[in-house]
Amino acid sequence: MKRLSGVSALALCAFVTPALADVTPQQVWDDLESYMQGFGYSVSGTETADGNNLTVSDVVMSMPIPDMEGTVTFSMGSLDLSDQGDGTVLINFPAQMPIQVKGVEDGEAIDVTINFGQEDMKLIVSGEENNLTYDYTAAKMTVALGKMMADGEEITRDMLRLDVEAGPISGTSTVVRAGGMQSVAQTFDYGDLTYDVAFNDPDSEDAGLFNGAMNGVFGSGETVMPEGVDYSDSSALFASGFGIDFTMGHKGGRMEFAVSEHGDSTSGKTKSASGGLTMAMSADNLTYKITGTDFSMDLTGPEIPVPVSVQMAETGFTLSAPMKPADAPQDATLEIVLGGFQMAEMLWNMFDPAANLPRDPATIRIAMDAKVSPFASFFDQEAMEKMDAEGGVPGEINSVNLREIIIDAVGGKIAGSGAFTFDNTDMESFDGMPRPEGKLDLSVSGANGLIDKLIGMGLMSDEDAMGARMMMGMFTVPGAEPDTATSVIEVNAEGHVLANGQRLK
């Protein structure tokens, strides 16, 4: 299913963001045909001119699928390209455009049809040669799994169902071509997106149903593509200047699901106020970021003793890293946020019926910057395979700046920051790890109170509590306020580890 979704997304991308057009119908078609051929598609169609207008009938685009013995074919029917008399071209599309995937994988024959549909889709091309703008609108777009054959047997709709609908649709793409490169900058609004997925295995009792929606789906981004490059060779592709930078998001989502396995059923639902994804990738760097707000989940099932209900006010993950070697160490970033986590009272009461522990929302937050030195391009598959075979590592870490660390839960809180450099020529002082040098400042509050509560609940013995307090005494000093402590952990140039000036190693 992942392959099918990727194929359909590729075809849809080619559909809504054509490139290299001019302002006459014939030039629009010629450049669209050339553009798709540059991606490895074989394009066919019958052209019929009517004055300044052009109709291309029986349009078919097809290409081989690299990781299986097969092809994907996009049948677009008849395209009408109309000269609007003002230097722009209007393209009208048929209501249904099937996508067919045929091939053999692991000795099994596959024949799948995906029905791509649209309602009131219009695309207007304007601008000038090598600098064109595409404005498109549609009442809605749909994707539905049609006929599916696997090894000669039909998988019917009651066995597998996939329906996706989005709308109203609007967007703008600007295509600029210069110096052997073309860039596509676009913004889009897909309106509300709904999905309905179901499966039912006739040979077992396994079945599942997933349906949901994302409201106000939007996005923007820019893609830079070299001309005449082999897109199946990632190393050559990125070395030639390929890059992508896009952001997508929604303004609220929900999902309901039910899964049956061996006669047991698990069901649940999720909801969120917003979500986002940002990804930027080039030969130099990779950035990946996901965010979410007000996420909640309810879950019930035979292996869950009580219904699970949790909420999270904020979620986030950010990773930024260099992708190729450079003359100097490069920037890297890692951030993790799990903010405002809460559980339902029923879950709390399972292990804390007397409400000894504070039930305030819990938060974990980590943010750090680093300097790192890659040894090879991560897109150079041959170099990475050689490094793996020789037992090498892909790079080295030069320094870390821990901007913030917060762990705040059940009445206890740890907060800190610090910075370290690393000597990669000394791999002996710390058992195969490059020797660090720097310090970490920590503050702790509520720890003793939490230990007392855990003893009272029977979750910690007196002996374990004594060991924990002794460990805290080794690494911390009392703070100015009751039940607080601070700690400064240092590693010096000799590889000595010190806690508040006392040598530990």
Structure-token match 């920590």, residue found: 442
Cα–Cα dist 297/309, whole Å:
6
Beta strands in 301-329 (DSSP E): 308-322
Q: Are 30 and 193 in contact (CB under 8 A)?
A: no
The DSSP-derived string for 368-420 is: EEEEEEESS-TT-HHHHHHHHHTT--SEEEEEEEEEEEEEEETTEEEEEEEEE
Long-range contacts of 149-158 (CB under 8 A, 24+ apart): 149/109, 149/110, 149/111, 149/112, 150/108, 150/109, 150/110, 150/111, 151/108, 151/109, 152/109, 158/200
Per-residue pLDDT of the chain (505 residues; tens, 9 = 90+): 334 333 433 443 434 444 333 578 988 888 778 767 766 789 999 999 998 899 999 999 998 887 778 899 999 999 999 999 999 999 999 999 999 999 888 778 889 999 999 999 999 999 887 888 889 999 999 999 998 988 788 889 989 999 999 999 999 999 888 888 888 899 999 999 999 999 998 888 789 999 999 999 999 999 998 887 777 777 888 888 889 999 999 999 999 999 998 778 999 999 999 999 999 999 999 999 999 999 999 999 988 888 899 999 999 999 999 999 988 999 999 999 999 999 999 889 888 888 889 999 999 999 999 999 998 888 888 888 888 888 778 889 999 999 999 999 999 999 999 999 999 999 999 988 999 999 999 999 999 999 999 988 888 899 999 998 988 888 899 999 999 999 999 999 999 999 998 888 8
238 alpha-carbon distance from chain centroid: 20
What are the CA-CA distances from residue 396 to residues 308, 371, 419, 432 (Å)?
Answer: 42, 9, 17, 12
- Tokens in use for 2? 């992942």
Which residues are 35's β-sheet partners? none
Long-range contacts of 95-100 (CB under 8 A, 24+ apart): 95/119, 97/15, 98/146, 99/7, 99/8, 99/11, 99/72, 99/73, 99/74, 99/75, 100/72, 100/73, 100/75
